[in-house]
Amino acid sequence: MSPRRDDPDGALMVRVEARDADALAELYDRHAARLLGLARRILGEGGEAEEVLQEVFLFAWRAAASFDPTRGSVLTWLLIATRSRAIDRVRSRSSSSRPEARRLDDLSLEPAAPVDVEAASAERQWEAVCRSAVGELPGDQRKVLELAYFEGLTQQEIAERTATPLGTVKTRARLGLMKLRERLRPYLGSGSRVS
Amino acid sequence: MSHNERHEELAALLALGASLGADGAELERHLAEGCERCEEILAEGRAAATALAAGVPAVPPPAQVRAKILSSIAPSRVPARPPVSVAAWRVLAAAAALLLVAVVLDDARLRRDREDLRSRSADLAGRLQTAETALAERTLRARVLESDDVRMMLLGGSGPQPEARGRVFWSPSAKRGVLVATSLAALPPDRQYELWVFQKGKPVSAGVFDVDASGRALFESTAFPEPEAQNFAVTVEPRGGVPAPTGPVVLVGSPT
């Protein structure tokens, strides 16, 4: 069963594309908190995360037609948009001083918790699968993934930060991402590969 | 270049959003060759990477963010209905003002996008030109170098242009020569460089050429005067060239 089909987000996107502002408001109410959480995680406290959130929803309004349901869920689309905007800002300010920059080491993600998958809604289920997929990764692979995803480091910087040879960083990135893909494949929308 | 594990690693890093630096060009070339596997890693990997976001606690946004977003898309909500009263006129005027703001904001954004696109396309045009020059150079050299009797002579900077460097490849049987030169100065519009072939101690013109903005020249002489060239020189001459050298020598070879 694909959660996408039951997901009200798809219907909302159709309405957003038809310039229905109420639909955008509903989409916002459903996802803004999660997106802001991600933006804050990357950008830290301060107004920038809120600005990113605004940009993302204006982008969703403007570019609703570019959403392709066969490539993943609406939430994934919004998360990717949020992440890329937040990282752009991190990179543009990384040349200047950034005293409030947080190190990943200081705030590790919560470990995976067992979840009653059957009882959960499609979104909760997605979230649970994600958490456990990330939690099951070997620590060193997870670290590489997190440094790239949340801090936007280059492969070279990841190697330096983790005191690991560049080749190992690349291998860990590939293996870690491959594991996530395998676990999330039923949710990723590559139709023919859904098991 | 056929697909290998290294490409998968780069595609995975890119999907995670890590910048690849110099390796980026390699992956780009590989994707341009149409690697479906890497395309799939990129698309699925980008979505799979969002799993990392699932562990991040949600943060309820302040109410004014929602209001700002909805007000900035508000003009589209105004129904297109004919005005019926003064009150309606006021509403319309307010809507028009909002619309104007939206249009101005939109315009600024579009302008930024356009500038961004323009700079990217200028960058691409520059890279294309570089690539085309390199290709033309190789083609020309290949044509000469394919000859069995190809010969080469290094030319060094001389007189006013000590930094200039050049190489002449020529084939006595093909009666062709190619000059590749770097670090030549730009000339006034009424001047050109002229290549001379020395035979029996006397210079014979092999044609005139210009340099590009970066001081490079690639010149193929199809009227290569003499198979038994002993030396080469480049001088600055009036545009169109002269039968015998008159200007300063800027490049000259050292026959061995």
Dihedral sign (CA B241, B245, B247, B251): positive
Q: First vs last Cα of chain B: how many Å apart?
A: 41
Q: Which two tokens stand for residue B255?
A: 């026959």
**Distance between B24 CA and the closest CA of chain A, angstroms:** 11
Q: Is the ipTM of this complex over 0.95?
A: no
Residues of chain B contacting residue A79, judged by C-beta atoms under 8 Å apart: 50, 53
CA separation, residue B254 to residues B72, B146, B194, B227, B231 (Å): 73, 24, 18, 17, 7
Q: Which residues on chain B are in Cβ contact (under 8 Å) with A178?
A: 12
| CB–CB contact A155 B73 (8 Å) | no
Candidates A180, A182, A184, A185, partner chain B, best to mutate (most B CBs within 10 A) = A180
pTM strictly above 0.80: no
What contacts 24+ positions apart, CB below 8 Å, involve A161-165? A164/A140
**Tens-binned pLDDT, residue by residue, of chain B (256 aa):** 578 888 889 889 888 877 777 788 888 888 888 888 888 888 888 888 888 998 888 899 999 999 999 988 876 444 545 545 667 667 777 777 777 777 666 666 676 676 667 666 766 776 776 677 677 666 666 666 666 777 888 899 888 888 899 988 887 777 778 888 999 999 988 899 999 988 877 888 999 999 988 888 888 887 777 656 778 899 999 999 898 898 889 999 875 4
Would you kindly state where each structural domain of chain B is located, as residue ranges? 1-50, 151-253
- B61 to A133: CB separation less than 8 angstroms, yes or no: no
Residues constituting chain A: 195
CATH of B151-253, one of 2.60.40, 3.30.70, 1.10.3470, 2.40.50: 2.60.40
Residue with tokens 């403007």: A62
DSSP A106-169: GSPPPPP----TTTS-HHHHHHHHHHHHHHHS-HHHHHHHHHHHHH---HHHHHHHHT--HHHH
SS3 state at B227: coil
Q: How far is B135 from chain A (nearest CA, A)?
A: 32
Please answer yes or no on whether B74 and A133 come within 8 Å at the CB atom. no
